[in-house]
Amino acid sequence: MPESRSRLTARKINIEDVINGNYYQQDGFDPNYIITPYGLRVSRGRILGTVMDTYINDDESYGALTLDDGTDTIRAKFFQDLDMMADIEKGDIVEVVGKVKEYDNEIYVNPELIIPRNATYELLRAVELTSMRDEWRDHIETAKRLQDAGKSDEDIEQELKGEGLGGPEIEGILKYVTLGEEAFEKGTQTTTTENGATITQSTSQAQTHPTVDDEDADDSADEDEDDESGDHRADILDAIEDLDDGDGADYGAIQDAVDIDEDTMEDAVNDLLSDGTCYEPRPGRIKKL
């Protein structure tokens, strides 16, 4: 029986930690992710910042927002469906929820949702992130202490589970302590291969404030990704109907039935949820309206 999968948790994170993280490109169904400089694994993020710039190409098939949270800047990129950008203006404070992706050594976010926020919310988020980083460093210290004591990865995993962590979180921590902090230090840049995964660490955002030509290049290079997710919508809807036991269809079972990778699956499901074709009766279950 295939391992059950669910939609990934969107992590609150500041832009600097996204930009300076190590990016892991995976094969098959496993989602791509970054590991931040303090060891947090992130596939989907919640990024709060001020809109510094907006861009829409001539045929309105591609758009981007440049966000600044005081630590760094990042682009939120939109392909084909630009409706979320419609009411966003320069100077707005927004929270962008979406998958963290990489193209041409640039880390960016592919939005699923944009939420208007205010300055008070920014202050609260800064406090939250400081607390979260401290908590995560404690988890890292636990893993290092056990590793130094000669404990196996299985022993460390059990200890971290006792601290309330799940599988992907623990995997990120183990990778962090195995590679060592120097692999995540700001200012270094490496591209290596480990266990079949391509790892790219991006420490600068040369395209954060792009020219029009840069944006058009992104448009032509990445628009196929959005087309691919759209091509699978009908298959996903058929799978939902076949697998729905009355309480919706299990997310992992849908993906197994359609046989597509995690990124394409996530994009297509987000489209179906956002346009009202489907909804989530409870986490991990998708139901057709």
E strand intervals along 157-255: 191-194, 197-201, 249-250
Residue 223 has pLDDT above 50, yes or no: no
Residue 212 has pLDDT above 60, yes or no: no
Residue 199 has pLDDT above 60, yes or no: no
DSSP 111-133: EEEEEE--HHHHHHHHHHHHHHH
| Choices 2.40.50.140, 3.30.420.40, 3.30.2350.10, 1.10.3720.10: CATH for 10-139+179-201 | 2.40.50.140
Q: Which of 18-22, 29-33, 70-74, 168-172 has the highest mean pLDDT?
A: 70-74
Q: What is the dihedral of CA 188, 26, 250, 236, to 10 degrees?
A: 120
How confident is the model at residue 5, as a pLDDT? 52
Query: In this predicted structure, which of 101-105, 112-116, 227-231 has the lowest mean pLDDT?
Result: 227-231
Reading across the β-sheet that carries 41-42, which strands appear in turn? 41-42, 33-35, 22-25, 197-201, 191-194
How confident is the model at residue 51, as a pLDDT? 95
**∠ at Cα 11 (10, 16), nearest 5°?**
130
Q: Which of 206-215, 238-247, 277-286 has the highest mean pLDDT?
A: 238-247
Mean pLDDT value across the chain: 79
Neighbours of 242 (CB within 10 A): 11
Q: Which residue has the higher pLDDT, 28 or 230?
A: 28
Residue 116 has pLDDT above 80, yes or no: yes
Do the bridges between strand 73-79 and strand 106-116 make them parallel or antiparallel, or are there none, so unpaired? Answer: parallel
Q: What is the dihedral of CA 9, 10, 11, 17, to 10 degrees?
A: 130
Packed helices 212-231 and 233-243: angle between N→C axes, nearest 10 degrees:
40
All structural domains of the chain with their residue ranges = 10-139+179-201, 232-288
| Choices 1.10.1760, 1.20.5, 1.10.10, 1.20.120: CATH for 232-288 | 1.10.10
User: Tens digits of per-residue pLDDT, 15-59?
Assistant: 999 998 888 887 666 778 888 888 899 988 999 999 999 998 888
How confident is the model at residue 29, as a pLDDT? 60
**Count of all residues that appear for the chain in the document:** 289
The percent of residues above 70 in pLDDT, for the chain, comes to: 78
How confident is the model at residue 188, as a pLDDT? 43
Residue 88 has pLDDT above 90, yes or no: yes
